[in-house]
Structure 1
Amino acid sequence: MKFIDKHGWILVFLGAVCWSLNSPLVKYMTASAMTICCLRALIAGIALLPFLRPSRLKPDRWMAVYLLAFAGVCITVIASLSMTDAAIAVGMQYTALIWLTLTAVLRTRRFRGQPWGPVILILGGLLLFMSSGSAGSLSGNLIAASEGILFAVMTASGKRAGQENALGLTCIANLFTGALVLLIHPQTASEALSMTPSQWEILLVLGVVQVAMGYGLYNLGLQYVSPQRASILALWEMILGPVWVALFLHEYSSGMVIAGFLLILGGICLNALRPPGKGYILVKPDDMAL
C-alpha cells in the first residue's frame, strides 16, 4: 500500500490508457455504430454492477439529465469514430469547456475570471477541425461537433447526480444507454447474433477493460492524487487514442487536424493548471471518458 500511496498517479495513468483503447477498437470493428454502442454499454454496465450501491444514488432530475446526456455522448462518440478522423472524434469532446464557460457567463453575468485563454485555444482547434477537409464525411464531423455540447451537459449534471458514487452512476448510465439504443435500434439483436467470435472479443475488451477497468483504476488512483493532477494525467486518453489508430490501423491525421488537436490539448492543459477559484472548470477527468 505504501507504493500506491506514493505512486497513485500510475493508477490514474493506467485508467487513461484503458480509456484510450476506444478509438482503435471501435474503428477496427465492422458492426454498426449503434450496435457497438449498445453492446459495449451493456457489457460495461454488467461489469460495474458490484459497485452499484443504490442507497448512495439519488434519483432526481439531475440524474435523468445525466443519463440522457451520457447516452448522447456514447452514441455520438462511437458514430463519429466510425465516420471521421480519430483526432476529431476524440478532440471534440473537450470543446465542452467552451459551452461550460458561456453558460457560466450567462448565469453569473461575469466576464472577468473566466478561463478565456483556454477557451480561445479550444475554439481555434474547433475551427481548424471543421475547416480541415479531412477524410471522413461532413455528417461525421457534424456529429463529432455535437459531442462538446452533450459532454458539457453531462459534466454539469454529473457533478450533482453522482458525487457520492461515481462508479455506481457510471454503471446505471451504461445500462440505460444500452437499453435506450436497443429500443431505438432493435436491429442490434439480429446484428449481435451474426457477429464473429473475434468481434465479440473486442466488445468484451471495450466493455470490461476500456470502460469498467478504466473507471475502476481511475477512481482508485483519485484517492491518492489531487483532482487537478488527475485531470492532467487523464489527458493521456486524448493523446493515445489517435496514436493507437495511427500505429495499428495506419490511419493518419492531416497537418491541420493535428494542429487543431494540439490547440485543444493546450487549452485543456492551460485550464487544468489554473488554480481553483480562478475560473478553473474541470471538464475532465471523472465525468467520463468515451
Structure 2
Amino acid sequence: MTSIDQPASHGESHRHGVLFVFAAGVLWSTVGLGIRLIEEASVWQILLYRSVSMSLFLYVVIRVRSGESPFAQARRIGGPAVVAGLSLVAAYSGGIFAIQNTSVANAMLLFATAPFMAAVLGWLVLREPVRPATWIAIAVAIGGIGIMVADKSGGVVLAGSLAALGSAFGFAVFTVALRWGRTGEMLPAVFLSGIFAIIITASICLILGQSLVLTWNDGGVAMGMGLFQVGAGLILYTLGSRSLPAAELALLSLAEVLLGPVWVWLFLGETASINTLIGGAVLLMAIAGNAISGKRRKPPPITSP
C-alpha cells in the first residue's frame, strides 16, 4: 500500500474510494434478487430478520472502529439520529413492499430519486440552496417518473411504484436529518434504525398473528441481506466516500440502480416494461446530468466522519 508521504497517495486513495463505493453499489443492487428468493415471508418478517443481522454486524463494527458503543454515539447525535433511524425503517419497509409488488427495475429506478427529494427537503427545512441545474434535473426526473408510473402493464403495479417513491422519501429524510444534526457519521443512525425496526416489526408481526419463526430459506436469505447487502455495503460506502466528492458519489451510486434489474434478469428471467425502460432512461439522464454539472463544486460527502 502506498505511503501517505508519497505523491501517489492521493491517487491511490481516490482509486480505493471509487472501488469501495462501486462495490457498495454492487452489494446494494442485490436487494431485488434477495427479495425474489424469499418464498413465504411478509414485509415485516423479512425486515425483522434483516434488521437483527444488520444490527449485530454494525454493533461489532462500530465498537471495533471507535472503541465506543453505538448507543453512546447515537445519544450524542440526539434527536436527528432518532429521526434518521425512524425514516430508514419507513424506507426499508417501503423498499421491500415495492419490490414484492412491482418489477425490480421499476422499484430500483424510483429509489434513485432520493437525492432529488433530499435536495428539495434540505431547501424547505434547512434553507440549503439548490442549484438551478438541480431544479432542471428534478423537473426532468419528474417527467421520467410520470412515464414509469403511467405504465398499465402487468409488471408495474401503482401501489408498488408509490411504495418505491415512499422509500426514496424515507432515504431523503435520513439524509436531511444527518445534515440537521451536523454529523457526517451515518453508521450510528443506521444501527439505531435496525433497533427500531426490530421493535416495530416484531410488534406488527405479533399484532397481525404472523410467526416470528421463518423457514430456513427465508430466514437465511433475510439475515444474509442484513449482513452482506446492507451492513457490508454501508461499511464500504463509508470508507470509500471519504476520498470522493459528492458528484462522483452520485454517479457511482448509479451502479446500484443499473445492476439491480440485471441480477433478476440473469438469474430469474425478470424483464422490464417499455415504459420503465424509457422513463428510467430519462431519470438516469437527470441524475447523471445533475452529478456532472456539480463536479466542479466539491462539497464533502455527508458520510465523512
TM-score category, normalised to shorter length:
0.7 to 0.9
- Of 39, 45, 50 in structure 2, the residue corresponding to residue 40 of structure 1 is 50
**Structure 1 residues 59 and 194, CA gap change in structure 2 (3 angstroms):** same
**Structure 1 residues 6 and 286, CA gap change in structure 2 (3 angstroms):** closer
Tell me by how many angstroms 1:163 deviates.
2.1
CA separation in 2, counterparts of 1:235 and 1:162? Answer: 26
Q: Is the 8 A contact 1:118 1:270 kept in 2?
A: yes
Q: Is the 8 A contact 1:23 1:241 kept in 2?
A: yes
Q: How high is the TM-score relative to the length of structure 1?
A: 0.85
Partner residue, 1:49: 59
Aligned residues: 284
**Structure 1 residues 182 and 162, CA gap change in structure 2 (3 angstroms):** farther
**Structure 1 residues 48 and 60, CA gap change in structure 2 (3 angstroms):** same
Q: How high is the TM-score relative to the length of structure 2?
A: 0.81
What's the secondary structure of 2:211's corresponding residue? helix
1:155 matched to 2:175? The reply is yes
1:183 matched to 2:207? The reply is no
What's the secondary structure of 1:133's corresponding residue? coil
Structure 2 spans left out of the alignment, 5+ residues: 3-8
What's the secondary structure of 2:270's corresponding residue? coil
Q: How does 1:1-290 map to 2 (within 5 A)?
A: 1-2=1-2, 5=13, 7-8=15-16, 9-30=18-39, 31-50=41-60, 51=62, 53=68, 54=70, 55-57=72-74, 58-103=76-121, 106=124, 113=132, 115-134=134-153, 135-161=155-181, 163-186=183-206, 191-195=211-215, 197-275=216-294
CA separation in 1, counterparts of 2:130 and 2:249? Answer: 27
Following TM superposition, the consecutive aligned residue runs of length 4 or more in structure 1 with deviations greater than 6 angstroms are 109-112
Structure 1 spans left out of the alignment, 5+ residues: none
Amino acid at match of 2:19: I
4-13 vs 174-183, which moves further: 4-13
Q: Could you give the per-residue CA deviations for residues 14-40 of structure 1, whole angstroms, max 9, x where no partner exists?
A: 111111111111122121122111211
What is the percentage of aligned positions where both structures have the same residue? 23
CA separation in 2, counterparts of 1:162 and 1:243? Answer: 37
CA separation in 2, counterparts of 1:6 and 1:129? Answer: 36
Tell me by how many angstroms 1:80 deviates.
0.7
**Structure 1 residues 117 and 49, CA gap change in structure 2 (3 angstroms):** same
**Structure 1 residues 187 and 210, CA gap change in structure 2 (3 angstroms):** farther
Which has the larger Rg?
Answer: 2
CA separation in 2, counterparts of 1:194 and 1:104? Answer: 40
Amino acid at match of 1:7: R
What's the secondary structure of 2:243's corresponding residue? coil
**Structure 1 residues 81 and 114, CA gap change in structure 2 (3 angstroms):** same
What's the secondary structure of 1:252's corresponding residue? coil
